Structure 1
Amino acid sequence: MTSVVEFESKRLARLKWACRRGMLELDVLLLPFVEQAFDQLSYDDKVVFERLLTADDPDLFAWFMGHQECKDKEFASMIARVLTSVKIR
């Protein structure tokens, strides 16, 4: 049986891998956010962030760079949170 600690460790490793998008602009936003802020998110926000990572790279790039408005309100809120978190650090 897998413990909660093991589960969270594997979850974090999967997230870090998913944050390596191959686009430097996304990598420098997503990976630091996971490493520094993901643990403090509520359960619901963690789910939103994980869902956000399933979006296509061109969409993520357009949303994070402000080239296109994200129509999904949960995604838009998480994108703002990531951008704020990374700018503060």
Structure 2
Amino acid sequence: ALTDLLNTPPSANLAPFVIGLVVVAIGMAFGTNAGYAINPARDFGPRLASFLTGYDDAWRDQYGNLYFWVPIVGPLVGGVIGAGMY
């Protein structure tokens, strides 16, 4: 939505800066829960490496609930829903 010409894009070539602010805001909002996992690649690899090196609870959050699927499924479902709404 920030780079779509049908919207009012950020002026003076500020689109990369605004996109960076959006990424930082998402990271600040969900960084505690997911370790700044805003896409599947940032979450699954470290969890898999932790599991393979002996951390059996790498797939769980601090409360013991299975959490690994949220950063994987969430962006995929959200991307499809967002594209459909657009």
TM-score normalised to the size of structure 2?
0.30
Flag the structure with more relative contact order, 1 or 2, with Cα contacts below 8 A and sequence separation at least 6: 1
Structure ID, larger Rg: 2
Q: TM-score, normalised by structure 1?
A: 0.29
User: Which one has the bigger helix percentage?
Assistant: 1
